[in-house]
Amino acid sequence: MSETLAPTLADTASAPDLASRPHALPRVQHAQPYSSRSIRSFVLRQGHMSPAQRRHLDEMMPRIGLPYRPAPLELDAAFGRDAPKILEIGFGMGETTARIAAARPDIDYLGIEVHSPGVGALCKLIEEGGLANLRIIQHDAVEVLRDMIGDGALAGVHIFFPDPWRKARHHKRRLIQPDFIELVARKLAPGAYLHCATDWENYAEWMLGALSASSLENTASGFAPRPPYRPLTKFENRGLRLGHGVWDLIFKRKPPVAHKELS
């Protein structure tokens, strides 16, 4: 089951007005079709796990973790109910994910993250908050989308602050690429949304160019105001106080075109 959850401009606050600038949209490199050897949604980095993170990961993942399998996942069975499903790719330490899920207990959230400290941190937040509407897959998001998520199964996808790969020679490693966008689009129900956010201006422009050239439809005239459901993180608040920008992009899957029957 899914419903249209994309926010309207009337529900949102103000955001940096990059879209009104008279610059051309950036050229976006076309990625190769996704495979096990293609671009991944993460880069392996060593991270320290606290004893609490390790304990919660070990205790909670058997209860709320979903193992990766190259086979379709029955989302309603995984959550034990029929409700809209929203996927978050790369939830980091999970603070934002937990706050969003706590605020919307009527929606189910599936978080994907590969780094164990972040998975352990979110497991801790899930237990402390008694969040029954959150599940975790610790695996590459591209393979999860491709192999486990059915077409049209999602009410929304969140991708908040992905690695911007700042150097030009590394732009091909960015997650937001044309083929990846179309992969996400297939998994969205008609009217469902993809919400990206970044604090790196060049990546914001890159995302806008790639998304505007896709089959998805922008919900704003350019960059979108931050919707109320995405809370500000401590890092983001500090950056805003220093005058740094944050850009949100919210695109939705177009509803099917109704064809009149010939009489």
What positions carry a catalytic annotation? 163
- Spatial contact of 32 and 179, defined as CB atoms under 8 Å apart: yes
- Spatial contact of 144 and 68, defined as CB atoms under 8 Å apart: yes
3-state secondary structure of 135: strand
* Cα 187 from Cα 16, distance rounded (Å): 29
Structure token pair of residue 183: 């992969």
**174 CA to centre of own chain:** 14
Helix (H) or strand (E) holding 191: strand 188-198
- Spatial contact of 213 and 176, defined as CB atoms under 8 Å apart: no
